[in-house]
A and B are shown apart, each in its own frame.
Chain A
Amino acid sequence: MKPAVLTGKHFINGDVACAEGAIAAGCKFFGGYPITPATEVAEHISERLPDVGGTFIQMEDEIAAMTSILGAAWTGAKTMTSTSGPGFSLMMETVGLAVVTETPCVVVNVQRAGPSTGLPTQGAQGDMMQAKWGSHGDYEIIAIAPSSPQEMFDFTIIAFNLSEKYRTPVFIMSDEIVGHMSEKVVIPKPSKIKTISRKKPKGPKNKFKLYKPDADGVAPMPAIGDGYKVHVTGLTHDEIGYPVMSIEAQEEMMTRLLGKIRNNIDDIIMTEQYLLDDADIVIVSYGVSSRTSYTAVDMAREKGVKAGLLRLITVWPFPDALIKELAQRVKGFITVEINLGQICREVQRCAGTDIPSYLAGHAGGAVVPPEDVLSIIKENF
Chain B
Amino acid sequence: MKATAAKPLPHPMEDLIRMDRIPHIWCSGCGTGSVFMACLSAIKESGIPYNEFSMVSGIGCSGRGAGYINVDSFHTTHGRAIPFATGIKMAKPDLNVIVFSGDGDLFAIGGNHFIHAARRNMDITVICVNNLIYGMTGGQVAATTPHKAKSSTTAAGNPETPFNLPLLAYASGATFVARWTMLHSRDIADAVQMALNNKGFSFIEVLSPCPINYGRRNKEKALETLRLYHDNTIIKSNADLSELDIDFKRGVVLGNFINKEKPSHDEQYSKIYHAEAG
Contact B116 A64 (CB under 8 A): yes
* A322 in contact (CB, < 8 A): no
Q: Mark B246-278, 1 if CB is under 8 A from A, else 0.
A: 000000000000000000000001000110111
Q: When chains A and B are docked, how far (Å) is the Cα of A243 from the Cα of B70?
A: 15
Contact A59 B95 (CB under 8 A): no
Contact A229 B70 (CB under 8 A): yes
Tell me the count of chain A residues lying within 8 A, CB to CB, of chain B: 46
Partner of A235, one of B20, B51, B75, B91: B75
* B30 in contact (CB, < 8 A): no
- B269 CB, nearest partner CB in chain A, Å: 7
Q: When chains A and B are docked, how far (Å) is the Cα of A228 from the Cα of B51?
A: 9
Binds A, one of B81-89, B153-161, B185-193: B81-89
- B260 CB, nearest partner CB in chain A, Å: 23
Contact B75 A70 (CB under 8 A): no
Interface of B is mostly: helix
Binds B, one of A5-13, A47-55, A167-175, A252-260: A47-55
Q: Which chain B residues numbered 27 to 84 have a C-beta less than 8 Å away from chain A? A: 50-52, 54, 56, 66-67, 70-77, 80, 82-84
- B106 CB, nearest partner CB in chain A, Å: 14
- Please, which residues of chain B bring their CB within 8 A of the CB of A233? 66-67, 74-75
* B228 in contact (CB, < 8 A): no
* B18 in contact (CB, < 8 A): yes
- Please, which residues of chain A bring their CB within 8 A of the CB of B218? none
Contact B90 A55 (CB under 8 A): yes
* A357 in contact (CB, < 8 A): no
Contact A228 B72 (CB under 8 A): yes
Q: Mark B108-127, 1 if CB is under 8 A from A, else 0.
A: 00001100100000000000
Nearest to A49 among chain B residues (CB) is B273
Contact A70 B273 (CB under 8 A): no
Contact A71 B87 (CB under 8 A): yes
Partner of A67, one of B66, B84, B276: B84
* A330 in contact (CB, < 8 A): no
Partner of A79, one of B76, B87, B277: B87
Nearest to B92 among chain A residues (CB) is A75
- Please, which residues of chain B bring their CB within 8 A of the CB of A56? 273
Partner of A75, one of B66, B73, B88: B88
Check A231/B73 contact, CB under 8 A, given A50-B276, A60-B116.
yes
* B21 in contact (CB, < 8 A): yes
Contact B112 A72 (CB under 8 A): no
* A224 in contact (CB, < 8 A): yes
Q: When chains A and B are docked, how far (Å) is the Cα of A70 from the Cα of B54?
A: 14
- Please, which residues of chain B bring their CB within 8 A of the CB of A235? 75
- Please, which residues of chain B bring their CB within 8 A of the CB of A229? 50, 70-73
Contact B84 A70 (CB under 8 A): yes
- Please, which residues of chain B bring their CB within 8 A of the CB of A51? 277
Partner of B86, one of A28, A71, A227, A243: A71
Contact A93 B77 (CB under 8 A): yes
Q: When chains A and B are docked, how far (Å) is the Cα of A243 from the Cα of B25?
A: 12
* A179 in contact (CB, < 8 A): no
Q: Mark A57-98, 1 if CB is under 8 A from B, else 0.
A: 101110111011111111111010000000000000110110
Residues of B within 8 A of A (CB): 18, 20-21, 50-52, 54, 56, 66-67, 70-77, 80, 82-92, 95, 112-113, 116, 269, 273-274, 276-278
Cβ-closest 4 pairs across A and B: A71-B87, A68-B87, A72-B91, A64-B83
Given contacts A56-B273, A57-B90, A79-B87, 8 further A-B contacts (CB under 8 A): A59-B116, A64-B80, A67-B84, A67-B87, A69-B87, A72-B90, A75-B88, A233-B66
A-B contact pairs, 11 of them (CB 8 A): A28-B91, A29-B87, A29-B90, A50-B276, A64-B82, A70-B84, A70-B87, A224-B54, A225-B51, A226-B51, A243-B67
